[in-house]
């Protein structure tokens, strides 16, 4: 059994590494498999042949595919993401400023959202089909249906314009003290929290209800075990795997969800950088951002996989 555990963990790790590799291939080389020439596409039909040739060279399009990929990979490993087409700045410098901002925002939202969602999900599962459950069901279904920018502007209107409690634009810079920074980030973090809590709570509830329907739980109930004890002693050990999954899937969602929220609050993070670069068709920056976002997403999913294998009681306590 111990061997199966190690083998499963290694398998998951290998799969994660493989998908990272495949994704980096798509992001970096996808351009070459597309019909037409990306350099002409970016510069427009009226560009001079010299300009197109110069752009092709700076994008590395004149090299053979495998060479280009290995150059890229080698540079990446040295922390060199290349240069922005729009302003010639080092992409690594841009990321060094933007990435921590985004991680801060996501972390703040997660710290509030995870306990809240798990708590609500537990309660809804215990009082299934009761008044509380139905209210929470309708409320979360509505929150999921709202576009993120709707929630964001609604919060701006209520908490910033009408009540005047929080700033409507998140202007953060490193010199601010922590309290000031948290205040600036309050509205974007709150928006993200609301969106994620709805998803996470529904998934927690579904996972628990699924589990509570299994025969061994019914057996425990028939035996006369009190309700809270059934949940804590019988259900919870087996519920960890699905719950960890729910949390991590939503954290991954959060990392992507920041894109829209950052745009609303003009928050200087990765999402803003990426959207601006897409508008300018600044390919190297978009590629770098995609790579960072995709890598975070894959690593989070990999963590979920590993943790759910590790938390499986049948694998941890071999007979």
CB 133 → another protein: shortest distance, Å?
9
Q: Residue 81 Cβ, how far from another protein at the closest point, in Å? A: 15
Q: Which is nearer to another protein, 78 or 149 (CB)?
A: 149
Is 222 exposed, middle or buried (CB count within 10 Å of its CB: 0-12, 13-18, 19+)? exposed
Q: List residues binding another protein (CB under 8 A).
A: 19, 22-23, 26-27, 30-31, 34, 38, 41, 137-138, 141-142, 144-150, 153-154, 156-157, 161-162, 168, 202, 205-206, 252, 255-256, 259-260, 263-264, 274-275, 277-279, 281-283, 286-287, 289-290, 293-294, 297-298, 301
Helix (H) or strand (E) holding 142: helix 131-145
By C-beta, is 232 or 266 nearer to another protein? 266
Whether the CB-CB separation of 230 and 253 falls below 8 Å is answered with no
Q: How far is the CB of 216 from another protein (least distance, A)?
A: 20
CB of 318 to another protein, least distance (A): 30
What are the phi and psi torsion angles at 138 (to 5°)? -65, -45
CB nearer to another protein: give 114 or 286.
286
Q: With b meaning 16 or more CB within 10 Å and e meaning fewer, what string describes 6-16?
A: eebeeebeeeb
Nearer to another protein (CB atom), residue 170 or residue 255: 255
Q: How far apart are CA 195 and CA 192, in angstroms?
A: 5
Among candidates 134, 108, 300, which has minimal Cα distance to 192?
Answer: 108
Q: Which is nearer to another protein, 114 or 203 (CB)?
A: 203
Nearer to another protein, 22 or 232 (CB): 22
Residue pair 272/263 in contact (Cβ under 8 Å)? The answer is yes
Q: Report in angstroms how near the CB of residue 175 gets to another protein at its nearest.
A: 26
List beta partners, residue 83: 90
Tell me how crowded residue 288 is: count the other CB atoms within 10 A of its CB. 25
- Name residue, tokens 């290998």: 14
Alpha carbon distance 94, 84 (integer Å): 9
Kindly give, in sequence order, each residue whose CB lies less than 8 Å from that of residue 238, ignoring residues fewer than 6 positions away: 211, 313
Closest distance to another protein from the beta carbon of 169 (Å): 9
> Nearest 5 degrees, angle CA 251-CA 254-CA 258?
155
State the minimum distance, in angstroms, from the CB of residue 262 to another protein. 10
Nearer to another protein, 4 or 11 (CB): 11
Query: Cβ 290 to another protein, closest distance in Å?
Result: 5
* Complex with another protein: residue 4 or 129, whichever CB lies closer: 129
């Amino acid at each position: 059994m111990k061997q199966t555990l190690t083998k499963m963990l290694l398998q998951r790790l290998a799969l994660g590494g493989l998908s990272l590799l495949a994704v980096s291939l798509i992001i970096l080389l996808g351009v070459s498999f597309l019909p037409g020439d990306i350099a002409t596409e970016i510069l427009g039909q009226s560009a001079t042949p010299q300009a197109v040739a110069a752009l092709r060279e700076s994008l590395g399009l004149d090299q053979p595919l495998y060479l280009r990929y290995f150059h890229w990979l080698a540079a990446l490993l040295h922390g060199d993401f290349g240069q922005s087409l729009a302003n010639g700045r080092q992409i690594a410098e841009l990321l060094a400023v933007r990435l921590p901002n985004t991680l801060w925002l996501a972390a703040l939202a997660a710290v509030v959202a995870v306990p809240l969602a798990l708590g609500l999900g537990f309660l809804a599962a215990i009082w299934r089909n009761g008044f509380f459950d139905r209210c929470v069901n309708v409320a979360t279904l509505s929150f999921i249906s709202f576009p993120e920018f709707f929630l964001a502007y609604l919060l701006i209107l209520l908490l910033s314009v009408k009540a005047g409690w929080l700033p409507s634009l998140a202007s953060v810079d490193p010199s601010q003290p922590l309290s000031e920074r948290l205040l600036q980030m309050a509205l974007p973090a709150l928006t993200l929290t609301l969106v994620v809590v709805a998803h996470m709570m529904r998934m927690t509830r579904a996972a628990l209800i699924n589990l509570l329907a299994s025969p061994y739980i019914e057996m425990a109930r028939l035996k006369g075990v009190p309700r809270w004890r059934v949940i804590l002693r019988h259900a919870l050990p087996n519920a960890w795997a699905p719950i960890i999954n729910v949390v991590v899937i939503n954290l991954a969602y959060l990392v992507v969800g920041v894109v829209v929220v950052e745009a609303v609050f003009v928050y200087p993070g990765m999402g803003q950088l990426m959207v601006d670069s897409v508008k300018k068709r600044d390919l190297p920056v978009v590629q770098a951002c995609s790579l960072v976002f995709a890598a975070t997403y894959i690593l989070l999913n990999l963590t979920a996989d590993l943790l759910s294998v590790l938390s499986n009681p049948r694998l941890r306590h071999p007979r």
